[in-house]
Chain A
Amino acid sequence: GDSVTQMEGPVTLSEEAFLTINCTYTATGYPSLFWYVQYPGEGLQLLLKATKADDKGSNKGFEATYRKETTSFHLEKGSVQVSDSAVYFCALSARDNYGQNFVFGPGTRLSVLP
């Protein structure tokens, strides 16, 4: 079945450091790819998405490129802030005759220190 693998956390960075969180996937067909963020005590918020190969999703300084050849969707940010501390989930959505649904990775906890 479909699956998503993320780099294990926690990831601890200093403010203004460069961030990369790796994500690879296994899926039949051509899934859409997403990054969600979860702050403590809250639900998931969509951070960015890409729906086809070579698409780049971007939001709030974060970006990720849909790489079909490497089945990857790595999340990057050039300069992290303390407020970026959260858990980040990579997810895929594959559409079939019944609609679409999401398969999530295990999440990567990011802590940014001032």
Chain B
Amino acid sequence: DAGVTQSPTHLIKTRGQQVTLRCSPKSGHDTVSWYQQALGQGPQFIFQYYEEEERQRGNFPDRFSGHQFPNYSSELNVNALLLGDSALYLCASSTRATQPQHFGDGTRLSIL
């Protein structure tokens, strides 16, 4: 049973570009959350998707947007990239019941 899978594993972009990160949740999970983890820090919540809608959002600007598809997979889009967007982006999946979130290995995004 595959866990949470994310792609790509690494990505290098330049300032001002746009990026799309992808996540497939663990089988049986319908809720996907995205986190940004800067180097040496804990993950910060970006937003959560359920039933193809954004349900909760953390303190991130509108440059960060997302989407959830009918098969529960999800994308994170970031526009107008800044140097400060360099981080590990983690996807986590869960069910709507009280279950611990399962994390993927993340996408390492580097902005030059």
Contacts and interface: CB of A to CB of B under 8 A. Distances in A.
Given A44-B90, A99-B96, A105 B102 contact: no
B45 A102 contact: yes
A98 B105 contact: no
B43 A104 contact: yes
B56 interface: yes
Interface stretch (A13-21, A45-53, A67-75, A77-85): A45-53
B74 interface: no
Contacts of A32: 98
A101 B56 CA distance: 9
Most chain A CB within a 10 A radius of its CB, from B48, B90, B96, B101: B101
A106 B96 CA distance: 26
A101 B42 contact: no
A62 to B, nearest CB: 15
Contact of A106 (B41, B98, B101): B41
Contacts of A104: 35, 42-44
Interface in B90-105: 90, 92, 94, 96, 98, 100-105
A51 B98 CA distance: 9
A91 B35 CA distance: 13
Given A45-B103, A46-B102, A99-B50, A106 B42 contact: yes
Given A43-B105, A51-B98, A99 B42 contact: no
Contacts of B42: 4, 89, 91, 104-107
A91 B50 CA distance: 21
Contacts of A95: 98
B90 A99 contact: no
Nearest to A1: B59
Given A43-B103, A46-B100, A51-B98, A101 B45 contact: yes
Interface of B: 4, 31, 33, 35, 40-45, 48, 50, 55-56, 90, 92, 94, 96, 98, 100-106
